[in-house]
Amino acid sequence: MLYHLLYPLHTQVGLFRVFRYTSFRIFMAMLTALFVSLLIGPWFIRYLKKKQKRSSNIREDVPETHLKKSGTPTMGGILILLTLLASFLLWGRWDVSFFWVVVSGTLIYGAIGFLDDYAKIKKTKGLKARSKLALQVLAGAGLMFGMVQSGFNTELQFPFFKELSPTLPAFVFVLFGVLVIVGASNAVNLTDGLDGLAIGPTLVTFFTYLFLSYVASHEIMASYLQIKFVPGAGELAVFCGAAIGAGLGFLWFNAYPAQVFMGDVGSLALGAAIGITSIVVKQELLLVLVGGVFVMEALSVMIQVVSFKTRGKRVFRMAPIHHHFELQGWAEPKVIVRFWIVSIVLSLIALTTLKLR
C-alpha cells in the first residue's frame, strides 16, 4: 500500500525512491511484523486466556509430561496471521497478481484451521479429518485453477538437473499444486507438537524461500543460478520477510515454556503459504529438502499408521517422531533445538543445489 501511496511522489520527495527497491520493503516488512507482534502479543495472549477460560488444549495421544501444559491458550496463530498480513498489506505491491494469490491462500487455510481450533475449544473433537482434508483440497484446487487460468507457467524444475524441466499439462499441474499445498499445510500441522518446534523450521524455510523469491525476480541473477525467472516473484520475498518477522515475534512467546500455542489456525496457514510460495518460484520439489523436518514428521505418522494396521506393531514409540525422541529420554528443549539444527542444515544443502546443476 505504501508503495502505491508514496512512490509516485518520489519526483517531489527523493526519499520515496526507496520504495522501488524490493530489498528495502523486505526488511521493513520483517521489522514491522516483528515489532507489532511484540507490541500486541502480551495483550493478545491475555485475551485468549480470558476467552478460553483455561480449557485443556492438550491432546490425549501425547507423553504424560505434556499434561502440565493444560490451560495454555491456543490459536496463537491468529497473532502470526494478523501481523504477517498487516505488514505485507502495508509494504507489498497490490498490483502484482502473486500478492493476492498468497494472501488469499493464507487466509483460506487460516480460516480452516480456525474452525478446527474453535470446535476443539468448544469441547468437541474439532472438524472431522475427512471434512478438514476436503476443505483443504478444494481451497488448493481453487487457487491452482486460478493461477493456471491466468496463464501461470506449468513448467516443473528438478534440483540438480538444469536441462530437466518438463511442462506439465494444466490438469496435472493443478493436481500437483494441490498435493504440494495440502501436503505442506498438514506437515507443518503435524510438527506443531512441542513449544517452538514448528515455528523454528518454518522460519528457516521462509528464509530460504525469501532468497529464492528474490533471485527468481531478477532475470540476471536467475540466469546465473540457472533457475526460472519469475517476474513479480519479488513480492513473495516481501511476504516471506513479513512471515519471518511475524514468526520471530510469535517465537518470543512460544519458546519453551510456551505462553501460547500456535494451533491449526497458524500451522495450516503457514504450511499453505510455504507451499504456494514454492510453486510460484518454481521450486516445489526443493521443498522436500528445505522442509525436510516437516517431511520427516509427516512420514513418521504415515509409517506408524501403516505398520500398525498391516502388522499390528508400531515402528516408533509414539508418532509424530518428536514424541518418539521424548519417550527415548530427550528433554523437550533438546528435541526442539536439534530439530532446528537439522532444518538449518537441510536448508543449506538445498541452497547448494543451485550451483550443482
Q: What is the mean pLDDT of each run of 10 residues along the chain (357 residues)?
A: 86 87 96 98 94 67 72 93 97 94 97 93 81 96 95 87 84 96 97 95 98 95 89 96 98 95 96 97 95 96 93 91 93 96 96 79
Length of the chain: 357
Residue 281 in contact with residue 306, Cβ under 8 Å?
A: no
Give the CB-side neighbour count of residue 290, counting CA atoms within 13 A.
28
Q: What is the largest CA-CA distance in the chain?
A: 74
Supply the pLDDT for residue 164.
Answer: 79
Supply the pLDDT for residue 234.
Answer: 94
Residue 255 in contact with residue 44, Cβ under 8 Å?
A: no
Supply the pLDDT for residue 262.
Answer: 95
Tell me the C-alpha distance between 202 and 294, whole Å: 9
Supply the pLDDT for residue 229.
Answer: 92
Cell numbers representing residue 73 in the block? 491458550
Supply the pLDDT for residue 57.
Answer: 61
Cell numbers representing residue 319 in the block? 508418532
Tell me the C-alpha distance between 14 and 33, whole Å: 26
Q: Is 166 exposed, middle or buried (0-12, 13-18, 19+ CB in 10 A)?
A: exposed
Taking 3-state DSSP, the helix, strand and coil percentages for the chain, each rounded to the nearest 5, stand at 70, 0, 30
Label residue 232 left, alpha or beta by phi (over 0 means left) and psi (-120 to 50 means alpha). left
Tell me the C-alpha distance between 254 and 252, whole Å: 6
Bond before 63 cis per omega within 30 degrees: no
User: How far, in Å, are 62, 123, 315 from residue 59 at the CA level?
Assistant: 6, 12, 21
CA neighbor of 82 nearest in space, from 38, 139, 122: 38
Cell numbers representing residue 177 in the block? 499444486
Residue 135 in contact with residue 269, Cβ under 8 Å?
A: no
